[in-house]
């Protein structure tokens, strides 16, 4: 008999929008899948057996490193951090950004290249601005991708 690990969701919670957290809170109890919020500060969650919070030290990539260390190949990671997405994909996990875009082996390299290009632009003084607020269609896209992953996870 194999020792099968239950799939779970890890959230890079420092930058996760509240509207996405609300979707995750509801999904945890509905599906009984553990969702763990990792951040350098306490993340308030509703009382639930399926919602966890891990507080890490403040510092560059501390939360990301914690997620990479703890996640398994059957897990889903919610992040807008492209280097973190790349690392968990290399471990075999699935990465989904809060706007509903799945990061995959086939698209992560181009996302990393674009991120690096934008970093270079910003460091040379070009004002690139931040991302716009999450739209209703992006919120719906996130919820749909999350539900697809949860259905597959529960069939395991």
| CATH code assigned at 34 | 3.40.50
Within a domain: 1: no
Please give the pLDDT value at position 2. 45
Domain limits for position 58: 9-155
Contacts of 49 (CB under 8 A, 6+ apart): 32
Longest CA pairwise span in the chain (Å): 58
**Based on the structure, what is the number of domains in the chain?**
1
Within a domain: 75: yes
Within a domain: 31: yes
Is the predicted pLDDT of residue 29 greater than 50, yes or no?
yes
Is the predicted pLDDT of residue 132 greater than 50, yes or no?
yes
φ/ψ of residue 94, rounded to 5: -105, 140
Within a domain: 57: yes
Within a domain: 2: no
Averaged pLDDT for residues 70-74: 94
């Amino acid at each position: 008999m194999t020792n099968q690990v239950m799939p779970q969701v890890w959230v890079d919670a420092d930058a996760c929008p509240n509207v996405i957290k609300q979707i995750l809170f509801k999904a945890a109890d509905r599906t009984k899948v553990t969702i763990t919020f990792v951040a350098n500060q306490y993340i308030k969650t509703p009382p639930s057996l399926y919602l966890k919070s891990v507080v890490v030290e403040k510092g560059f990539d501390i939360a990301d490193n914690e997620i990479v260390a703890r996640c398994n190949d059957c897990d889903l990671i919610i992040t807008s951090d492209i280097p973190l997405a790349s690392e968990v994909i290399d471990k075999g996990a699935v990465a989904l950004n809060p706007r509903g875009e799945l990061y995959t082996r086939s698209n992560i390299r181009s996302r990393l290249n674009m991120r690096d290009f934008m970093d270079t632009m910003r460091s040379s003084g070009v004002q690139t601005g931040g991302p716009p607020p999450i739209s209703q269609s992006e919120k719906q896209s996130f919820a749909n991708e999350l539900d697809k992953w949860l259905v597959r996870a529960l069939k395991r």
